[in-house]
Copies of this chain bind each other. A is one copy, B any other.
Amino acid sequence: MAGGRGTRFWPRSRKARSKQVLPVLGEASLLQQTYTRLRPLVEPERFLVITNGHLREEIARQLPEVPAAQVIAEPVARNTAPCIGLAARILLARDPEAVMGVFPADHVIAQEEEFRGVLREGIGLAEGGNLVVLGIEPRWPETGYGYIEFEGERVQGFREKPDQATAEEFVRRGNFYWNSGMFLWKASVIDAAIRRHLPHTAAALDRDDFPDCDSISIDYAVMEKASNIAGIRCPEFGWNDVGSWNAVYELMAGAKGANVARSEARFHDAAGCYVDAPGKVVAVVGLDDVIVVETPDALLVVRRDRAQQVGEVVKKLEQEGREELL
């Protein structure tokens, strides 16, 4: 799944240069890192990338080994359930027994071998007819993720994004895991589940009318309702959904309070800062915990703990019709 906007990575991210196709960490884009991470398990001709019209060409360029016809642009954005339903139909036509893995293209995972070990386990569970979801042990009481409630190894239920107090309670109780948005299942099994729990969308897919699909997440539409769920309480493998520039900072900073410079920078009496302004010398003086990101036409200066708010800047520019900055 590579259709997101990634507006919180403005000004670096734009409609045609969204987060997943950017090298926000390291030299390769997040999409390319996702591909490389899965490649030891899957041949290139068995990758399917669902994205949007702005990104299709760039994604095909970044993944030359993947057949270009398997980089598919949705005509409109309709959240994850229709995206997954469409992919399942395409795979089923090729192989009625296909096992399908669903991976957001913009996450990072530090320990790849541990991750692939979990996938091998999950593939087994999927072959047995389960809808498999990967749960991540929470490292802090995040309010931006959904949670999976476990009872032993069994999934008891799904919980929507909680408020702060609830998130803290989840972390305290220890049997609540972050819903990573990564799934494994047989294409036939998820297709049947969508037909059952989301019949209007299934019918729209039957008649190739993607825009008529419900705009709804797979979690809400299917996972919260199905009974054949298998959750995996993943061992630590350094998962991060790289949700903002602050996440990039934290993934790159070696130590607490370290400054991170991705271009030439001078820090005078500054700590915890992140600078990314190619071709320019940046001096940060007397400031802590500030992020500076520059492009030829725009500059962002944001306090690290407000990096989530960057999307609001983009929303405002959108309302004003500033297409050249989107």
**A residues in contact (CB < 8 Å) with B:** 10-11, 266, 268-269, 277, 279-287, 290, 292, 294, 296-303, 305-307, 309-310, 312-313, 316-317, 322, 325
A124 to B280, CA, bound (A): 53
In chain B, what residue has the closest Cβ to A288?
A: B303
A12 CB, nearest partner CB in chain B, Å: 12
Q: Which of B284, B299, B322 contacts A302 (CB 8 A)?
A: B284
A187 to B235, CA, bound (A): 85
A286 to B266, CA, bound (A): 22
Given A290-B287, A316-B266: A281 touches B297 (CB 8 Å cut-off): yes
The 6 A-B residue pairs whose C-beta atoms are closest, nearest first, are A286-B306, A285-B302, A286-B303, A282-B299, A283-B313, A281-B298
Contact between B283 and A299 (Cβ–Cβ < 8 Å)?
A: yes
In chain B, what residue has the closest Cβ to A292?
A: B301
- Which residues on B sit within 8 Å (CB–CB) of A312? 268, 285
A232 CB, nearest partner CB in chain B, Å: 37
A281 to B301, CA, bound (A): 11
Given A268-B309, A309-B268: A303 touches B287 (CB 8 Å cut-off): yes
**Residue picked from A281, A300, A303, A316, most chain B C-beta under 10 Å:** A281
A266 CB, nearest partner CB in chain B, Å: 6
**Residue picked from A281, A284, A301, A306, most chain B C-beta under 10 Å:** A301
Contact between A299 and B281 (Cβ–Cβ < 8 Å)?
A: yes
A213 to B317, CA, bound (A): 59
Contact between B266 and A306 (Cβ–Cβ < 8 Å)?
A: no
Contact between A301 and B298 (Cβ–Cβ < 8 Å)?
A: no
A305 to B285, CA, bound (A): 10
A283 to B293, CA, bound (A): 10
Q: Which of B268, B290, B298 contacts A283 (CB 8 A)?
A: B298
A192 CB, nearest partner CB in chain B, Å: 46
Contact between A285 and B309 (Cβ–Cβ < 8 Å)?
A: yes
A175 CB, nearest partner CB in chain B, Å: 35
A54 to B277, CA, bound (A): 29
**Residue picked from A303, A305, A310, A316, most chain B C-beta under 10 Å:** A303
Contact between A285 and B269 (Cβ–Cβ < 8 Å)?
A: no
A290 CB, nearest partner CB in chain B, Å: 7
Given A285-B306, A309-B285: A290 touches B301 (CB 8 Å cut-off): yes
Contact between B266 and A313 (Cβ–Cβ < 8 Å)?
A: yes
- Which residues on B sit within 8 Å (CB–CB) of A296? 280
A210 CB, nearest partner CB in chain B, Å: 34
Given A266-B313, A325-B281: A287 touches B301 (CB 8 Å cut-off): yes
Contact between B299 and A292 (Cβ–Cβ < 8 Å)?
A: yes
In chain B, what residue has the closest Cβ to A291?
A: B285
A15 CB, nearest partner CB in chain B, Å: 16
A21 to B266, CA, bound (A): 26
- Which residues on B sit within 8 Å (CB–CB) of A309? 268-269, 285-286
Q: Which of B281, B286, B294, B310 contacts A285 (CB 8 A)?
A: B310
A162 CB, nearest partner CB in chain B, Å: 24
